């Protein structure tokens, strides 16, 4: 029998994924969800111009390995130059590349306990050692993150602003001030996936070439292109150049490149989507309050609901919603796991949520 000679590190890792997809759950249930409100997808979809551009892309050709047109457009949009920008297969793909560049066996990395798990998945995959700090009042704690980085000589520090899974946020100027305590040997990986749906002043107000930070952005959220997998990072040119050492040069397909380029050009559609997201957040908050749950303030395309009890109760509410055809998720670390998380949806989606939530809560209370 063939013996696969995996590396010792690979042998030590569990065969798992950071998230169980709704499709997996649907296959297990034998039916589709009535409302898909768990993955923070933008149900309002991409710009019609993006859809047309993707349909008409020359699919028989590989994508441009330099994503030159898209990088040029992004540089113009942000008032910088193409050598400050790298494009990749969503923020998840870019996180994998930045970890590959910096993290070897035993290298220290700092993140928040309960923050976006895909980053942790990449760190484990390269043998890094994760050091975690707790949330502070349902916000990530930059001061604690940077202090921990100094204690453990961290190569990378991960911070999401706005945050997933809580929807909370910091003012960009407050993060900039906290960065005075970031150790000189540490790089801040700032995940700004939800920055387009956040209040003015949330983005980090530092020069794009500041060598202390790499900023991650995406077309998956406000631009509605999660299925196309288009993310980009902005950093000092020396760091961007390093990505070419390890990235998949044909990882970006031509359709995704064309769609992102068209989406970026249609800022009117982005404004419309942001308005719809804001309306949906208001409706989710109303539904929560009508059922005795507390909606937390959100700068994202989802709302986190405090169920008022412990993690077991919140999980029971989540299970009740799933059983009633509503796909949702929840934070996985206490005390944030007292909550469930509801993605913004259409009127029909939220009507279904409103119909299912009372019964799910009642069942959780009985249980």
pLDDT digits (tens, 9 = 90+) for 88-141: 999 999 999 999 999 999 999 999 999 999 999 999 999 999 999 999 999 999
Torsions phi, psi of 111, nearest 5?
A: -150, 180
Residue with tokens 């299912």: 356
Q: Is the CB of residue 189 less than 8 Å from the CB of residue 98?
A: yes
Question: How confident is residue 367, by pLDDT bands cut at 50, 70 and 90?
Answer: confident
Q: What is the pLDDT of residue 16?
A: 81
Hey, what are 41's tokens?
């997808």
In a domain, 13, yes or no: no
Q: What is the CATH number of the domain that holds 28?
A: 3.90.1150.10
Residue among 346, 333, 330, 347 nearest 296 (CA): 330
Whether 217 and 339 map to the same domain: the answer is no
Whether 195 and 98 map to the same domain: the answer is yes
Whether 63 and 172 map to the same domain: the answer is yes
Distance, in Å, from the CA atom of 245 to the CA atom of 238, rounded to the nearest integer, reads: 12
Hey, what are 106's tokens?
């035993």
State which of 265, 290, 315 marks the end of a domain.
Answer: 265
What are the residues facing 133 on neighbouring strands? Answer: 112
Q: What is the pLDDT of residue 1?
A: 65
In a domain, 3, yes or no: no
Whether 70 and 167 map to the same domain: the answer is yes
State which of 265, 287, 305 marks the end of a domain.
Answer: 265
Whether 98 and 143 map to the same domain: the answer is yes
Q: What is the pLDDT of residue 17?
A: 76
Whether 250 and 314 map to the same domain: the answer is no
pLDDT digits (tens, 9 = 90+) for 30-58: 999 999 999 999 999 999 999 999 999 99
Hey, what are 267's tokens?
């800022």
In a domain, 6, yes or no: no
Hey, what are 124's tokens?
């484990």
Residue with tokens 């299925």: 227
In a domain, 310, yes or no: yes
Q: What is the pLDDT of residue 2?
A: 84
pTM, 2 dp: 0.97
Q: What is the pLDDT of residue 3?
A: 87
Whether 78 and 180 map to the same domain: the answer is yes
Instruction: Please name the residue ranges forming H helices in the chain.
Output: 8-12, 22-29, 48-56, 68-78, 90-102, 117-125, 142-152, 172-178, 237-243, 254-265, 267-290, 311-323, 347-366
Q: Which domain holds residue 288?
A: 18-45+268-366
In a domain, 11, yes or no: no
Q: Is the CB of residue 237 less than 8 Å from the CB of residue 228?
A: no
In a domain, 292, yes or no: yes
Residue with tokens 């957040």: 281
Q: What is the mean pLDDT of residues 217-237?
A: 98
Question: For the chain, what is the radius of gyration of the CA atoms?
Answer: 21
Q: What is the mean pLDDT of residues 296-320?
A: 98
In a domain, 358, yes or no: yes
Residue among 209, 210, 94, 104 nearest 158 (CA): 94
Distance, in Å, from the CA atom of 254 to the CA atom of 239, rounded to the nearest integer, reads: 25
Q: What is the pLDDT of residue 232?
A: 98
In a domain, 2, yes or no: no
Question: How confident is residue 10, by pLDDT bands cut at 50, 70 and 90?
Answer: very high
How many distinct structural domains can be found in the chain?
2
Q: What is the CATH number of the domain that holds 173?
A: 3.40.640.10
Percentage of residues of the chain with pLDDT beyond 70: 100
Does the pLDDT value for residue 186 go beyond 70?
Answer: yes
């Amino acid at each position: 029998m063939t013996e696969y000679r995996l590396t010792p590190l690979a042998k030590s890792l569990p065969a798992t994924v950071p998230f169980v997809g709704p499709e997996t759950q649907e296959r297990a249930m034998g039916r589709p969800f009535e409302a898909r409100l768990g993955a923070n997808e933008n149900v309002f979809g991409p710009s019609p111009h993006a859809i047309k551009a993707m349909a008409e892309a020359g699919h028989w050709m590989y994508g441009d390995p330099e994503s030159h047109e898209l990088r040029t457009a992004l540089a113009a949009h942000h008032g910088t130059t193409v050598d400050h920008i790298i494009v990749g297969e969503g923020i998840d793909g870019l996180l994998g590349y930045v970890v590959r560049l910096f993290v070897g066996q035993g290298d220290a990395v700092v993140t928040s306990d309960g923050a976006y798990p895909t980053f942790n998945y990449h760190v484990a995959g390269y043998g890094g050692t994760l050091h975690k700090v707790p949330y502070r009042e349902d916000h990530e704690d930059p001061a604690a993150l940077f202090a921990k980085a100094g204690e453990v000589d961290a190569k990378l520090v991960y911070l999401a602003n706005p945050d997933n899974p809580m929807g909370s946020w910091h003012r960009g100027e407050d993060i900039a001030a906290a960065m005075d305590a970031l150790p000189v040997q540490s790089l801040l990986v700032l995940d700004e996936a939800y920055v387009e749906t956040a209040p003015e002043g949330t983005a980090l107000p530092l020069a794009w070439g500041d060598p202390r930070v790499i900023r991650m952005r995406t077309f998956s959220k406000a631009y509605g292109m999660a299925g196309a997998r288009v993310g980009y990072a902005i950093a000092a040119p020396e760091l961007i150049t390093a990505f070419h050492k390890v990235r998949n040069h044909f990882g970006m397909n031509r359709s995704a490149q064309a769609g992102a380029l068209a989406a970026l050009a249609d800022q009117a559609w982005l404004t419309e989507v942001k308005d719809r997201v804001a309306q949906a957040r208001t409706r989710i908050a109303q539904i929560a309050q009508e059922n005795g749950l507390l909606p937390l303030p959100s700068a994202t395309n989802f709302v986190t609901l405090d169920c008022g009890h412990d993690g077991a109760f919140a999980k029971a509410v989540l299970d009740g919603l799933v059983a009633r055809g509503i796909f949702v998720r929840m934070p996985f670390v206490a005390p944030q796991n007292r909550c469930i998380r509801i993605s913004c949806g259409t009127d029909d989606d939220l009507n279904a949520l409103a119909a299912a939530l009372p019964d799910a809560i009642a069942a959780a209370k009985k249980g």
